[in-house]
Structure 1
Amino acid sequence: MKIFTAKQIYAADQFTLEEQDISSDALMERAATRLFNWFHHRLQGDQVKIKLFCGIGNNGGDGLALARQLWEHGYNFEVFVVNYSEKRSHDFLTNLERLKDRKIWPNFVNHDAELPSIDSEDIIIDALFGIGLNRSPDQWVERLIEHLNNSGAFVVSVDVPSGLFLDQAVKNSKAVVKANYVLSFQFPKLIFFLPETGIFSNQWEILNIDLSQKFIEQTEADYELIMKSKVLQYYLPREKFSHKGTYGHALILGGSYGKIGAVSLASRACITSGSGLVSAYVPKCGYIPIQSSLPEVMVITDQGQDEIMNISLNIEPDVIGMGIGLGTATSTQEAFTKFLGTTNCPMVIDADGLNIIAKKKSLLKMLPPKTILTPHPGELKRLIGNWEDDFDKLNKAKEFSKKYDCILVLKEAHTIVVYNGKGYVNTTGNPGMATAGSGDVLTGVITSLIAQKYEPLIAAIFGVYLHGRAGDIAIENLGYQALTATAIINGIGPAYLDLFNVPPTDIEKETKEN
């Protein structure tokens, strides 16, 4: 599912008006009907008090059109028009007149008005600002938004939480509505998935307002939301007449004294994800732990007892996942550097592998094309430098990826895979996965997929989805707090099966809890 910019969404609207030969007012009515149907399906005429806060642009027009439909079906509501500007959109004025024609008189809220009374049992509909906001609200509007946020009422925002910009960071968090639910028209918004802006949307749902499919299909987007239907297209089925060699030989390279568990987790995740053969390359202290705990995995030892000192392979792996538990001892850094200069094998690099590269940036030029780097925020900062906000971070990540022809897996609540100027936003995973070893498991999963002949970019996207889904399945019986990396591995098999649990036409569940 494509994630469009505000400019592209406006273009989609205009294209739809021309293609379908309808007016902007008719499109607004369609959007309001989708909003009303959502509420009516859930409330079924319940007389809970609904308070609509409408701006004077098209987002406010949506709110006024919704208010009229609520009136037509006998709901208990009150409308507040927030006069934050002298300008009013044409469609806002049209729907304001329609309310007045029905003797529905909104309350007009100006800079000197008293804050309206709101009960914690009320439902607030936030239709103050839409996707076109380009400056922070005035101070008196900020006070109103704080009042809404502090009311304890259930808040539903129309399209986006008011006060958020679509393509830049929050300037004043006090001037942003904190929505319990967001009803977003046609497209998800990038701000739902970034740490600094996603906190203002507890849940979101897409309302399809039938914008032009032709426009959607022919327009490129900088970001794409990765859902089950997309991942299912990537899946490579197993052939009947195949053998272990068909699915590749993966090498997991890493470990140091006290950190052999990282290699164990990555290796187990790798074999569980489907790699035909898995070897682990570890210092001598890791031989017994790996060999005794993972009988399916072969073990190669370095000459170093407690750390890797001189990487020497007697195998030809199809892919190498490296860096987990590696440590950054001087001898290990030297071995790592020397090894990079002698191999063109596809690689997935994580943890201390990234830290070593960050200490010596010249190593980036030695990486094979489309090497996958999987940094958490701290590791990413050491690679690309500081950033001002989430948007600046993404821009710098894109530049870094292009410069070094590498695939970045930006690990967050919503992990984003970046390559060739485009971002792929993951929809699986949960807070329980913020646990030791989770990243090691991800390295093993992605490494395994490359061994099975998935292209590196597809392996990264599919691997992130599969890893998150495994965690989602695991928490069903464990809860967030008890989730471990081992439990995530145990969820990999069920995550594969889950790809086929529902028909392809039904697999898009368009609600996501953040």
Structure 2
Amino acid sequence: MKIFDVAANREADRVTVEKQGITYYELMERAGNEVFLWLKRNFPDKETLFHVICGQGNNGGDGLVVARLLYESKYRVVLDILEDAGKPTPDFTANLKRINKEGIKYNNKQIDTYGDGKLVVVDAIFGIGLSREPQGMVKEMIEKINHSNAYVVSIDVPSGVFMDRKTEFAVKSDAVLTFQQPKLSFYLADNYKYIKHVEILDIGLDKDFIHSVETNFYLTDHLAAHKRYRPVDVFTHKGKQGHALLIGGSYGKIGAVCLSAKAALISGCGLVTAYLPKCGYTIIQSVFPEAMAITDGEEHITHINFDFEPKAIGIGPGLGQHPETQKAFHDFLNRYKHQLVIDADGLNILSYNKEWLGLLPEDAILTPHPKELERLMGSWSDGFDKIEKMIAFSKKHNVVLVAKDARTQVVYKDYVYINASGNAALATGGSGDVLTGIITGMLAQGYDAVDAAVFGVYLHGLTADIAVPETGMQAFTASMILDYIGKAYHKIEADHP
């Protein structure tokens, strides 16, 4: 799904109004109605008290529509209009006239504490056009919202969150109901404290325009993942499914390469070989009998030599950073120029020897967590700066970056793909090793580097989304990701649009 900037969102509104022969007022009614229907589905109890807080711009106008529809449906409604929150727009003013006509009273300016768990605050103060920090009475109201015990729903964007720069102060939303296309700010680590959940509401903006818009930013949702998915040919065999080689492991860290190797096979490739030190031979043959094994060195890898041509290689999980291992890694990079995934200690070794980045094969996939990424390319000031630096790094070194986070970002040159699947259950040891195996397995099956990274990350996250209702968040482990890969594939196959 395309991620729009402010200009594209506004142009989508303009084109829709023009091509559908409607007014901006009617489009506002349509947007407010979609929010109302979401609230009605999620809070059917008529004892729920909705406190709708509006600015005076078009976002506030959306809020007025919501307040009116809730009132007409016999819900308990308290309405506030913040006069310090922008100048009244024409469509806001028109909707305010309808509020007055209905006799809906407003400007209570207190966050009600009615009932236990029965208060929902609807935040409609600021939208995507915010250009300055909240001040005065508006800031005070946002502080009241953030210190209330209410469930907070923001219309389109949490008030105070900027679309193009770091946010310092904003409404902390439980749910953001955004219109038609996702916004980049929602998926940046700086803003996690303001956004727990995002719902994208279809308000009928012009589909042809949306299709025609050029953007470098995409959200990998279920539809996007399904488009990249390559079903298994009914006449295939293990030779056609590709041979993956996983290189890693050292004394005390053999589990990492075991997880990666097993993930590669379960992701669908036909053959897997693990290259590991001799201390891991019995382990991998015991816990993963489907794997072939090549050993080198006693407790760490000292040389990397093999006499076959794997379709893809993943290197780094549990590898260690022994000087002999580092030299072996350097010699390997000098020779190998095919499909490659680098993770964990492989990334750390590169960060200590940045000149080796020039040895990487084109479109190599690097899968750093935040600290590993910082060691590779330096620090960043905020999420927007981080993306700019990743784009520059990817272009300079011709690599695909998989920046692991709560919302993992796959960056390839000028393009950024933000993953929508997954949850905090994946914040567990070994999760990244499994991801390395999955992506390597995708490459071995014939996916190109970007598809392997984007689809592999989505599949990895989807396992946790499926599992957590059964396992719970805390009890989920990296090994369970392997158990749920099959179910994730089933969901992608069964639920395709």
Which range, TM-score by smaller chain? over 0.9
Does residue 1:93 correspond to 2:93, yes or no? yes
Q: Is the 8 A contact 2:173 2:195 kept in 1?
A: yes
Which of these residues, 216, 220, 223, is aligned with residue 214 of structure 2?
Answer: 220
**SS of the residue 2:494 aligns to:** coil
1:311 and 2:304 correspond: yes
Q: Deviations over 1:145-174 (max 9, x none)?
A: 1111212122211111111112221123xx
Comparing 227-236 and 410-419, the one that deviates more: 227-236
Partner of 1:267: 261
Pairing 1:103-114 to 2, within 5 Å after superposition: 103-107=103-107
Q: Relative to structure 2, which stretch is displaced further, 119-128 or 267-276?
A: 119-128
Aligned to 1:236: 230
Preserved contact between residue 442 and residue 464 of structure 1 (Cα < 8 Å): yes
Q: Which residue of 233, 248, 251 maps to 2:245?
A: 251
Verify: 1:39 aligned to 2:39, yes or no: yes
TM-score by structure 1 length?
A: 0.92
Correspondence 1:223-372 to 2 at 5 A: 223-302=217-296, 304-372=297-365
Q: Secondary structure at the match of 2:275?
A: strand
Q: Deviations over 1:108-156 (max 9, x none)?
A: 86xxxxx555436332111100111111100432221111121212221
Corresponding residue for 2:13? 13
One-letter amino acid of the counterpart of residue 180, structure 2: Q
CA offset digits 1:389-438 (Å, max 9, x no partner): 11111111111111111101111111111112111111222212111111
C-alpha deviation, 1:99, in angstroms: 2.0
- Partner deviation per Cα, 1:62-98 (whole Å, 9 max, x = no partner): 1112222233333332221101156221211121222
Q: TM-score scaled to structure 2, two decimals? A: 0.95
Give the C-alpha shift of residue 46 in structure 1: 1.1
Structure-2 change in CA distance of 1:197 and 1:501 (3 Å):
same
Amino-acid identity (%): 46
- Quick one: which amino acid aligns to residue 330 of structure 2? T
Of residues 408, 412, 420, the one that matches 1:419 is 412
Q: 1:86 to 1:55 in 2, by over 3 A?
A: closer
Seen in structure 2, the aligned counterparts of structure 1 residues 241 and 74 have a Cα distance that, compared at 3 Å, is closer
Matched residue, 1:383? 376
Distance, in Å, in 2 between the alignment partners of 1:49 and 1:482 is 36
Cα displacement (A) at 1:237: 2.3
Deviations 1:448-467 (A, max 9, x none): 11101111110111111111
Q: Deviations over 1:11-40 (max 9, x none)?
A: 111111111122211111111222222233
Change (3 A) 1:450 1:25: same
CA distance in 2, matches of 1:333, 1:431: 33
Question: What is the aligned counterpart of 2:457 among 457, 464, 470?
Answer: 464
1:199 aligned counterpart, secondary structure: helix
Residue 138 of structure 2 corresponds to which residue in structure 1? 141
CA RMSD of aligned residues (A): 1.8
Q: 1:186–1:209: 8 Å Cα contact kept in structure 2? A: yes
1:373 is matched with which residue? 366
Structure 2 gap ranges (5+): none
| Residue 475 of structure 1: how far off its partner (Å) | 2.9
SS in 1 for 2:240: helix
Structure 1 contact 130–160 (Cα < 8 Å) conserved: yes
Deviations 1:199-239 (A, max 9, x none): 21222212211111011101122321112222222222222
Structure 1 pair 242–11 and aligned structure 2 pair: CA distance change class (3 A): same
Deviations 1:323-353 (CA, angstroms, capped at 9, x unpaired): 1111111111111111101111210000011
Which amino acid counterpart does residue 423 of structure 1 have in structure 2? V
Q: How far apart in 1 are the matches of 2:57 and 2:393?
A: 39
Secondary structure in structure 1 of the residue aligned to 2:318: coil
1:158 aligns with 2:151: no
The Cα shift of 1:305 comes to 1.6
- Is contact 1:191-1:198 (8 Å) kept? no
Whether contact under 8 Å (1:4, 1:222) holds in the other structure is no
In the TM superposition, residue 262 of structure 1 has moved relative to its aligned partner by: 0.8
* Contact 2:57–2:86 (Cα < 8 Å) also in 1: no
* Residue 409 of structure 1: aligned partner: 402
Deviates more, 1:399-408 or 1:236-245: 236-245
Q: Which residue of 2 aligns with 1:64?
A: 64
What is the distance in 2 between the residues matched to 1:77 and 1:170?
30
Per the alignment, in what secondary structure is the counterpart of residue 3 of structure 1? coil
Q: Which residue does the alignment assign to 2:120? A: 123
* Equivalent-residue separation in structure 2 for 1:293 and 1:41 (angstroms): 47
Distance 1:133 1:197 in 2: 15
Structure 1: any 5+ residue segments left out of the alignment?
Answer: 110-114, 506-514
Q: Compute the displacement of 1:472 (Å).
A: 2.7
Deviates more, 1:368-377 or 1:60-69: 60-69
Q: Distance in 1 between matches of 2:347 and 2:416?
A: 20
Q: State how far apart, in whole Å, the 2-side matches of 1:297 and 1:236 are.
A: 23
Displacement of 1:43? 4.5
Structure 1 position 476 matched with structure 2 position 469? yes
Offset, 1:474: 3.1
Structure 1 residues 23 and 230: CA distance shift in structure 2, 3 A: same
When residues 49 and 386 of structure 1 are mapped into structure 2, their CA distance, relative to the original with a 3 A threshold, is: same
Structure 1 residues 218 and 116: alpha-carbon distance in aligned structure 2, compared to 1, 3 A threshold: same
Deviation at 1:283, TM superposition (A): 1.7
Shift in alpha-carbon separation, 1:45–1:478, aligned structure 2, 3 A: closer
What is the one-letter code of the residue matched to 1:368?
P
SS state of the match for residue 469, structure 1? Answer: helix
Does the 8 Å contact 1:13/1:211 carry over to 2?
Answer: yes
In 1, the alpha carbon distance for the partners of 2:490 and 2:112 equals: 51
Counterpart of 2:49 in structure 1 is 49
Task: Give the AA of the match of 1:46.
Answer: K
CA contact (8 A) 2:111 2:148 kept: no
Aligned AA for 1:341?
N
The separation in 1 between residues aligned to 2:439 and 2:85, in whole angstroms, is 51
- Specify whether residues 39 and 238 from structure 1 end up closer, same or farther in structure 2 by C-alpha distance, changes over 3 A only: closer
SS of 1:80 mapped into structure 2: strand
What secondary structure is seen at the aligned counterpart in 2 of 1:398? helix
Contact 2:239 2:271 in 1 (8 A): yes
Distance 1:44 1:470 in 2: 31
